[in-house]
Amino acid sequence: MLTVKRLLQTLFTLYLSMELAYCQPAKTGNWLVYSGNQMLSPRTNWWNEVQYRNYNAIGDLQQLLLRTGFGYNLSENNNNILVGYAYVYSENYILDSDRKTSSEEHRIYQQFLTRQNFKRLSLSHRYRIEERFMNNDTEVRFRYAISLSIPITKASLSKGALYGIFTDEIFIHANGPAFDRNRLYTGIGYVFHKNFRAEAGFMIQTLEPSERKQFQISLINTLPLFNNTD
């Protein structure tokens, strides 16, 4: 049976892999992600997220993304509609140079998230529309993500459970060429507490006409800000 010690050893191996990848001509990046989903009432929630994206293991900034939003469950603990705002700071390398140029982006977004359970398997669908404001440009983009998770060491995602996760997300432009990018991700997670878990995995991001590989380490917090005492 996999233990916390084994999970930590796996994370350390992933880190060494990132360092080795950094030494290769084709770089593999790393995303450090924090996600929080706090219940404000039995139906309403506050989403908060920070992503620190690197060209290498850590220290060579690619993007800093800050995202927040407020949502409402149409049914008990499910079918969530949410509206929010995101700020994105990017540092992009100038072609054939080791110098960077920076840019900022502001986003307004609307999304719908629905979940389904099939015995041990948990399946979610997320539909998102983004209005993007970038310097002198404005763009609308559609995103669809499907995510599957399954506990490995326990029957459910309870404390002490190790689980596997698979996600695929496609991005579509409202104008211009339809395809923007696709993100295919797989990883493992560990439930430290019913309201706190961690994940580590690997993502292949396909753009037109390039591809980039990313390691990803995530912390997920669902500590409620509202306790129903009725």
Q: Residue ranges per domain, the chain? A: 4-27+37-221
Residue 229 has pLDDT above 50, yes or no: no
Name which CATH class applies to 4-27+37-221: mainly beta
Q: What is the pLDDT of residue 21?
A: 42
Tokens encoding 193: 């507490």
3-state helix, strand, coil in the chain (%, to 5): 10, 65, 25
Residue 16 has pLDDT above 70, yes or no: no
**Under 8 Å between Cβ of 194 and 159:** yes
114-158 pLDDT, tens digit each: 999 998 999 999 999 999 999 889 999 999 999 999 999 999 999
33-44 pLDDT, tens digit each: 999 999 999 999
Four-point Cα dihedral 221, 225, 226, 229, nearest 10: 80
Distance CA 19, CA 105 (A): 30
Q: What is the pLDDT of residue 176?
A: 80
Helix (H) or strand (E) holding 21: helix 4-22
Strands 211-221 and 28-39: parallel
The tally of CA atoms less than 13 A away on the side-chain side of residue 34 is 7
